C-alpha cells in the first residue's frame, strides 16, 4: 500500500467517525479537503461511489464552457446529496428523513438531473420505489449510519474535487484525468 493510499484509509475512517459523532463541522471538512488533495486516481480514492462514471456521464459537452456548466450542475447535485447524507447521520434527523419526493423542485433540478444520483440515494438506504419518490423499506427503523457516513464522505470529497477543478485548484490526479475538456 502506498503512503497516499494508507493516508486515505486513515482519513476515510477518521472523517466517517467524526461525521457520525460531531456532524459536518470544521474537522470533517478539513479531513475531506485532505482526502481530495491526495494524489490518487478516482478508482483508488472512491470505494462506495463510482466517481469516475459520475464525472464522465455528467460532464459531457461540445465546448469547454458547456463542460464547465455541467460540472457546476454536478457539484450542485453532489452538494444536495451531501445534505441528504448529513441529515441521515444526524441524531436529530429531519421529520421526513425516511423518504425523498421526486416532485421536490430542488431534487428535480439537481439530483434527478444527474446520472447516478438515485444510485447514491440507494446507497444511503432509499431503496423502495414509491409512486412519488424513494423511501427506506418499512422494516428499516434507522439508516445504517456507518454506511451512510462512508458514502457521504465520498460524496463530500467528490463534490470538493469537482469544485476545485472548476476553480482550477485541483492537483494533477483525480477528476482532471476523467473530465472531458474539448478544445
Alpha-carbon dihedral angle through residues 88, 126, 104, 93, given to the nearest 10 degrees: -20
Mean pLDDT of the chain, nearest integer: 90
The three-state secondary structure class of 29 is: helix
Q: Given the C-alpha cell 439508516, which residue does it identify?
A: 143
What's the confidence (pLDDT) of residue 139?
97
Count of domains observed in the chain:
1
What domain range includes position 121?
A: 3-177
What's the confidence (pLDDT) of residue 183?
44
- 125/136 Cα distance (integer angstroms): 6
Residue 69 lies in a domain: yes
Residue 183 lies in a domain: no
Q: What is the pLDDT of residues 96-119, one digit of tens each?
A: 999 999 898 888 899 999 999 999
Residue 182 lies in a domain: no
Q: What is the pLDDT of residues 16-74, one digit of tens each?
A: 999 998 777 788 999 999 999 999 999 999 999 999 999 999 999 888 899 999 999 99
- 35/16 Cα distance (integer angstroms): 12
Query: How far is CA 168 from each of CA 73, 132, 137, rounded to the nearest angstrom?
Result: 17, 39, 42
- The CATH number that applies at residue 47 is 1.20.58.2190
130 pairs with which residues across the strands?
Answer: 133
Give the Cα-Cα-Cα angle 12, 172, 165 (nearest 5 degrees). 80
What pLDDT band is residue 173 in, cutting at 50, 70 and 90?
Answer: low
What's the confidence (pLDDT) of residue 73?
96
The residue-averaged pLDDT of 146-153 equals 97
- Name the pTM for this structure: 0.92
What's the confidence (pLDDT) of residue 24?
74
Residue 101 lies in a domain: yes
**Range of lowest pLDDT (12-21, 115-124, 165-174):** 165-174
Amino acid at each position: 500500500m502506498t503512503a497516499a493510499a494508507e493516508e486515505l484509509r486513515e482519513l476515510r475512517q477518521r472523517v466517517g467517525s467524526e461525521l457520525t459523532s460531531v456532524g459536518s463541522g470544521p474537522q470533517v471538512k478539513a479531513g475531506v479537503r485532505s482526502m481530495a488533495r491526495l494524489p490518487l486516481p478516482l478508482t483508488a480514492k472512491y470505494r462506495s461511489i463510482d466517481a469516475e462514471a459520475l464525472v464522465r456521464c455528467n460532464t459531457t459537452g461540445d465546448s469547454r464552457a458547456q463542460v464547465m456548466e455541467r460540472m457546476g450542475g454536478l457539484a450542485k447535485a453532489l452538494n444536495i446529496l451531501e445534505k441528504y447524507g448529513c441529515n441521515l447521520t444526524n441524531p436529530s434527523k429531519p421529520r421526513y428523513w425516511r423518504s425523498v419526493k421526486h416532485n421536490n423542485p430542488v431534487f428535480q433540478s439537481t439530483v434527478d438531473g444527474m446520472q447516478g444520483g438515485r444510485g447514491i440515494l440507494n446507497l444511503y438506504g432509499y431503496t423502495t420505489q414509491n409512486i412519488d419518490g424513494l423511501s427506506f423499506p418499512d422494516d428499516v427503523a434507522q439508516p445504517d449510519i456507518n454506511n451512510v457516513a462512508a458514502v457521504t464522505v465520498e460524496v463530500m470529497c467528490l463534490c470538493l474535487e469537482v469544485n476545485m477543478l472548476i476553480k482550477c485548484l485541483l492537483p494533477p490526479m483525480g477528476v482532471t484525468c476523467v473530465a472531458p475538456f474539448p478544445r
